[in-house]
Amino acid sequence: MTTTAVALAVLAVGTPVAYATLGDEAPAASQSKASALVTRGKAYVETRLLFGTERPDGGPDVTDRQFLAFIDEEVTPRFPNGLTIQDGRGQWRDSNGFIERERSYELTLLYPASEARVRNAQIERIRDAYEKAYAQDSVARLEERTTVDF
């Protein structure tokens, strides 16, 4: 056998054992980590909104100054306890089949799960306001229940 053949044989025999060992230990470790997370913190909802900056109507892109003014006027009054904004790069396929890319913002909001109904209406007003102000087709919304410990 050549050196390459021996190396391949060792990998073929050893790899399933290595993965089997990893597979046996991972669930227990994951369960203990999940238990630690569940017992700590309070029930919250994490909502992420994804704002594009390119205007489909051909107008100029939304600037940082415009976006921060939008946050000050539309978001902060509804979520004064805090929020997080991250810069991003978005991509999607448009109705003509072309891949579109644009600068974007990701807004993260955390609020108690008990406030979800009230917050839902506020978040929808934020989305509508941005779509109208900057001629956007949509503002994506992602939501997840979580636990938070401040």
Domain extents in the chain: 1-40, 42-148
Q: What is the per-residue pLDDT across 26-75, written as a single tens digit (0 to 9) for each?
A: 555 656 666 655 568 999 999 999 999 998 888 899 999 999 999 999 99
pTM for the predicted model, two decimal places: 0.72
Reduced to 3 states (helix: H, G, I; strand: E, B; else coil), residue 137 is: coil
Q: What angle do CA 117, 121, 123 make, to 5 degrees?
A: 110
Q: Which ranges in the chain belong to alpha helices (H)?
A: 3-38, 64-70, 116-133
Nearest CA to 107 out of 45, 46, 48, 44 is that of 48
Among 5-14, 59-68, 88-97, whose mean pLDDT is lowest? 5-14
CATH of 42-148, one of 3.30.70.1140, 3.40.50.300, 3.30.360.10, 3.30.70.120: 3.30.70.120
Question: pLDDT above 90 covers what percent of the chain?
Answer: 65
